[in-house]
Structure 1
Amino acid sequence: MKSVTVGWFEIPVADMDRAIAFYQKVFDCILNQQEMGDFQMAWFPWDESKGRAGGGLVFHKDFYHTSKLAGTLIYFSSEDCEVELSRVKDAGGEVQIPKRMIAPDIGYMGVFLDSEGNRIAIHSMA
């Protein structure tokens, strides 16, 4: 049977500048903003050599809409998800599920609403 993995993800936003400020503060990183015709995108830093999918924020008034309670849930990886979760409120988001253990061999997770109203998860082993 063929293996299938995530190759790219996109998080819809309503306000690109606000969303970039939110994610840069929460993840302590710099996003690379690009305009591609009538699309606006901002890419998260990623390292393909570690087998992790890349992705970014995307704005298009007709094709992308934020999703507070429905749709796909994206998990970001972290050393300790409590670090990023602790930054969410000050960045303009809301923690929905504080850090909690999934199982000892799987690690921890938490869920937050970003500045745009998207539900996003974060996972760590610590």
Structure 2
Amino acid sequence: MSDQAPQTAVCWNEIPVSDMDKAVEFYNAVFKWTLTIDTSGPNPMAWLAGDMNTGGGHLYPGKPASGGNGPTVHIVVPDKVEEAAERCTAAGGTVLSDAIEIPPGRFIYAIDPDGNSLGLFEPNRAA
């Protein structure tokens, strides 16, 4: 047995988007974040959850895979997945499934306006 805390298998993700301003607007609406575009590095980016210390990743100007055929990034929603799915549709995304139950929570498959595959994830909350 190890004395170390469990390590996460994925430490970072980068979501390519065709229009940073529109993508920031979409992700802020769906996840109730306050993303802004950071231009301090070699490329503009917007940190997921609005904080570079979340360890999650960022949006960046790039070419998304077409039709949701790239990897699926599952992102924790601040409330019920059904509420996030409604915001997703209202913000220009596409919801692809009903809620799917798995041991750690529930998720809904969706696609952002650029065609990136998303999982809107609601973790089990302690009672």
Give me the TM-score of the superposition, normalised by structure 1. 0.77
Q: Deviations over 1:81-125 (max 9, x none)?
A: 2221110111011101122323xx332110111121111112223
Among 50, 56, 59, the alignment partner of 2:58 is 56
Rounded Cα–Cα distance in structure 1 between residues aligned with 2:63 and 2:37? 19
SS at match of 1:97: coil
- Matching residue of 1:112: 110
Aligned length: 116
Rounded Cα–Cα distance in structure 2 between residues aligned with 1:54 and 1:4? 11
Counterpart residue identity of residue 80, structure 1: K
Among all aligned residue pairs of Structure 1 and Structure 2, give the percentage whose two residues are the same amino acid.
Answer: 29
CA contact (8 A) 1:42 1:56 kept: yes
Rounded Cα–Cα distance in structure 2 between residues aligned with 1:12 and 1:98? 25
* 1:41-120 matches, cutoff 5 A: 41-45=45-49, 53-59=55-61, 64-67=62-65, 68-78=67-77, 79-102=79-102, 105-120=103-118
More strand by share: 1
Rounded Cα–Cα distance in structure 1 between residues aligned with 2:14 and 2:70? 12
- In the alignment, structure 1 segments of 5+ residues that lack a partner are none
Give me the TM-score of the superposition, normalised by structure 2. 0.77
Among 41, 44, 65, the alignment partner of 1:40 is 44
- Quote the offset at 1:69 in angstroms: 3.1
- In the alignment, structure 2 segments of 5+ residues that lack a partner are none
Question: Cα RMSD between the aligned structures?
Answer: 2.4
- Quote the offset at 1:80 in angstroms: 2.2
Moved more, 76-85 or 106-115: 76-85
Counterpart residue identity of residue 85, structure 2: L
Counterpart residue identity of residue 116, structure 1: D
Q: Deviations over 1:1-54 (max 9, x none)?
A: 9955222211000011110110111111101311233x2211122596xxx632
